[in-house]
Structure 1
Amino acid sequence: MAGLVDEPRPGRRKPELVLSEAERAELTRWVRRATTAQFLALRARIVLRCAEGGTNKEVAAELGVAPGTVNRWRSRFIRLRLDGLIDEPRPGRPPSILLDQVEDVLTATLESTPGKDTHWSRASMAKHSGLSKSTIGRIWKKFDIKPHLQDAFKLSTDPQFVAKVVDVVGLYHNPPEKAVVLCVDEKSQIQALDRSQPVLPMMPGMPERRTHDYYRHGITSLFAAFNIADGSVISALHRRHRAIEFKKFLTRIDKVVPAGLDVHLVCDNYATHNTAEIKTWLGKHPRFHIHFTPTGSSWMNQVERWFGLLTDKLIRRGVHTSVKALEQDITAWIEGWNENPRPFTWTKTADEILNSLADYLTKINPPTTET
C-alpha cells in the first residue's frame, strides 16, 4: 500500500550462549594462562565475548577472525560445551579423551619433570597419566609440544637495546647516500682438521662417510665485511684476532672502498672493536662510522648469516692438512662468492622486532593479577 514502508526482515537469531560460573572461570584461565595453545586461547576468547552479547560480526572484528569462525565455535560450544573447543569430533564416535585428561597431560608436560629426568618421554607421560603412548603422542602433536627438543636463546641486557635496534635496522632499510654499509665481524679459531682416515665418497644409496676422529693442524681467523647493497665481501685472514689485526682490517677496508664514499660499519660489542687504539684510528678517518648491534644480538649482523653459508659449504666438511691449505681454500671460496655475490633481504622493521620481543616477554612472564 502507498505510504507504507516495508520493514527489514529480521535475520536468523543466534542461539543464546550462557556460561556457568565454572565454565567462565575455566575459559578465563585458558585465555590468561601463558602455556595455553594459541588456537585454544582464541576459541576461549570467542566464547567469552559471545557470552557478553556480541554478534558474530562484532566479535570477529574485535578478535581479527572471520565471522564464520566465530559462528563455528559459538555453535560447537553450545552443543558440546568446553569439550567442543578441544578438537573436531570424529563422525559416529564420541571423544574418548576427556578435556581434563588433556589438560593434565599438558600441565604436567609444561610445568613438571618426571622424577630425576630432565624432560618427559611418551613412555613416562603414559605411565604418569594412565593414557597410552600413542595417545600422548597425539596430544603433544596437536598442541605442537616437543619435550625432546631444546633450543638456545639469550635476551639482551643492553640498556641501549632499543636505540641500537632502531639505528642498525634503519641502516638496512634506508642506507645513506654516497656511502657503503658493511657488516663486519671475525670468524675466529677456524680449525684446520684432517681426518684420521680418507673420506669415503658418496655413492648411490650411500652418503659420504668420514671418521669421527681427526688431527688438528692449527687455527686461523677470518675478518669479513659484508656489503649489504650487493653482497660482496672484503676479507682478510690472520692467525690471531686482537685489536691490532682489526685495525689492519680497517685499513684494508679503507683502501678498497672508493675515497668518495662514507663507510658505515655494523659491528658487535667485542672488546677488540672498541679499544683506545681503534678509537684513535677512527678519529683519524672521519668517513668511518661504527654502529654497534645490541649486546647478545649478533643475529642482527648480516655477516653472521654469510659466515653460516661459508661454514655449511666449505669449513664443516673440509679436510685440511695445514693452516695454509685451509686459508687457501677459504680465499678461493670467497673469490668465487665475489664473482657472483648475493645480498640478503632484510624484511623486519625495528617496530616489528621490538613488538615481537615484547610479545615473547609477555608470554614467558604473564602479568599477575593483584588481589
Structure 2
Amino acid sequence: MILGCAEGRSNTTVGADLGVSDETVGKWRSRFLERRLDGLSDEPRSGRPRAVTDDHVERVITLTLETTPKDATHWSTRSMAQRSGLSHNTVSRIWRAFGLQPHRTETFKLSADPFFIEKVRDVVGLYLNPPDRALVLCVDENSQIQALDRTRPLLPMRPGQVERRTHDYVDYLRHGTTSLFAALDTRTGKVIGRCHQRHRAVEFRKFLDTIEAEVPADLDVHLIADNYATHKTALIRNWLAKRPRFHMHFTPTSASWLNLVERWFGLLTEKQLRRGVHQSSAELEAAIYRYLDVTNEDPQPFVWTQTANQILANVARFCQRTLDTGH
C-alpha cells in the first residue's frame, strides 16, 4: 500500500488493486507518514497476556526429549504437567504443535545383507521398468494360519455398542492350520493362490507348477521372493533349471517390505482373518479362497513409486540417525 501511494496513485486506486478499502490504505499511509517504518509494526493488542511463555514451551520440549519420569519409561500429559507446573491440556497442545507422541513407539529392522544395494536395485527395477513380454510376480507364503474359534458366541454390533467377542480362543490344534502360497501380478494386481497343509520345498514346487499352468506360455516369468530356505533348495533349483523362462529375484534379508505380496497378505489379515471365526481348516481355506475370488474380480495393483536411489538415500539417513543417537 505504501509503495503504491508513493507512485502517486490515490488511496481508492491502491485499495482496489489490493482488495482492501480506501480507509485501510489511508490508515497505514497516515501511520507511515507519522512514524515511518516503525508505524508499520503491529501495535500491542488488547486482551489477556500470554500465560504460557516461550520459556515454558522450551522447557516442556526439553524435558520430553531428554528426560524420563522416575516411575515410567515415557511421559504422559499428566506426569509432564506435574513436572512442569502446567495443565495437562497445555502440555497436550504443546506436544501436538511439535509433533511429539511419547506414548507411541514403533519397531524397525535394518538389513545386514551384504548385497542389499544390488538386490534393492534389482527388485525396484522390476517394479518401475518391467521387462517386455514378461510377467513380474511377487511370491511368498503366509504360513501356519490358524483356524480359530472363539470360546463364546460373538455379540454383534448394535446402536451404541461395538461388536464384542471373547479374548480367548478354542485350542487351535483342534481345528488345524493352513499355509497360503500366493503370487501377485505387479501389473494387474491379480493373485494366484493355493492353500497347503505344510510349507516345505515340496509344497512350494507344487505352487510353482500352479503358476506355470496359469501364466501364458510365451512370456518370461520373473519371481520376486524372500530368502526363506524352501525357495533355495536343490528341488527348486532343479525345477528352475528345466524352465529357463522362469527367473528368481531375491529381496534382501530382513526387507520383506520390498515384496508387494506382503501388502496383500496384510489386507487379507485385516479384512478376512483377524476377526474371522473358523471351526475347521476347511472353513478357513474357504474364506481365503472367497477373498481371492473377490480380489481377482476387480484387481487393483499396488503402485510402486520410489526409485532405488531414493530408497537407499532414506536408509542411509536412517542409519546415520541411529549412529547419532549414541546408544
TM-score range for the pair, normalised by the shorter chain length = 0.7 to 0.9
CA distance in 1, matches of 2:45, 2:158: 47
CA distance in 1, matches of 2:229, 2:55: 54
Out of 166, 171, 176, the residue aligned to residue 126 of structure 2 is: 171
Aligned to 1:219: 177
| SS of structure 1 residue aligned to 2:106 | coil
TM-score, normalised to structure 2's length? 0.80
Tell me: higher relative CO, structure 1 or 2? Use CA pairs within 8 A at least 6 residues apart: 2
Q: In the superposition, relative to structure 1, how do residues 286 and 142 fare at CA in structure 2: closer, same or farther (>3 Å)?
A: same
| SS of structure 2 residue aligned to 1:336 | helix
Residue deviations 1:295-320 (CA, integer Å, cap 9, x gap) = 11111111111111111221111111
Aligned to 1:209: 164
Matched residue count: 285
CA distance in 1, matches of 2:138, 2:52: 54
Whether 1:276 and 2:231 are equivalent positions in the alignment is: no
Whether 1:187 and 2:142 are equivalent positions in the alignment is: yes
Residue deviations 1:112-168 (CA, integer Å, cap 9, x gap) = 221241111122222222333222212211111011111111111222111111111
Aligned to 1:75: none
Q: Percent identity?
A: 58
Out of 293, 297, 300, the residue aligned to residue 342 of structure 1 is: 300
CA distance in 1, matches of 2:157, 2:104: 30
Amino acid at match of 1:355: A
Larger radius of gyration: 2
Residue deviations 1:317-352 (CA, integer Å, cap 9, x gap) = 111110111112211221222222221111111122
Q: In the superposition, relative to structure 1, how do residues 194 and 100 fare at CA in structure 2: closer, same or farther (>3 Å)?
A: same
Residue deviations 1:33-83 (CA, integer Å, cap 9, x gap) = xxxxxxxxxxxxxxxxxxxxxxxxxxxxxxxxxxxxxxxxxxxxxx9xxxx
Aligned to 2:106: 151
TM-score, normalised to structure 1's length? 0.71
| SS of structure 1 residue aligned to 2:143 | strand
RMSD: 2.6
Aligned to 1:261: 219
Amino acid at match of 1:249: F
Amino acid at match of 2:222: H
Q: In the superposition, relative to structure 1, how do residues 97 and 365 fare at CA in structure 2: closer, same or farther (>3 Å)?
A: farther
Structure 1's unaligned 5+ residue stretches are 1-8, 10-78, 80-88
CA distance in 2, matches of 1:250, 1:112: 54
Deviation at 1:169, TM superposition (A): 0.9
Deviation at 1:98, TM superposition (A): 4.0
Whether 1:120 and 2:75 are equivalent positions in the alignment is: yes
Residue deviations 1:255-284 (CA, integer Å, cap 9, x gap) = 211221111011111121122322222222
Deviation at 1:228, TM superposition (A): 0.7
| SS of structure 2 residue aligned to 1:310 | helix
Which region of structure 1 is more displaced relative to structure 2, 286-295 or 273-282? 273-282
Which runs of structure 2 are paired with 1:180-329 in the superposition (5 Å)? Answer: 180-215=135-170, 216=172, 217-329=175-287
CA distance in 2, matches of 1:245, 1:274: 13
Which region of structure 1 is more displaced relative to structure 2, 173-182 or 130-139? 130-139
Which region of structure 1 is more displaced relative to structure 2, 155-164 or 177-186? 155-164
Q: In the superposition, relative to structure 1, how do residues 278 and 112 fare at CA in structure 2: closer, same or farther (>3 Å)?
A: farther
Deviation at 1:95, TM superposition (A): 4.1
Amino acid at match of 1:135: T
Deviation at 1:91, TM superposition (A): 6.9
CA distance in 1, matches of 2:92, 2:290: 49
Structure 2's unaligned 5+ residue stretches are 4-40
Amino acid at match of 2:115: Q
Amino acid at match of 1:258: P
CA distance in 2, matches of 1:235, 1:307: 11
Aligned to 1:330: 288
CA distance in 2, matches of 1:226, 1:201: 34
Aligned to 2:94: 139
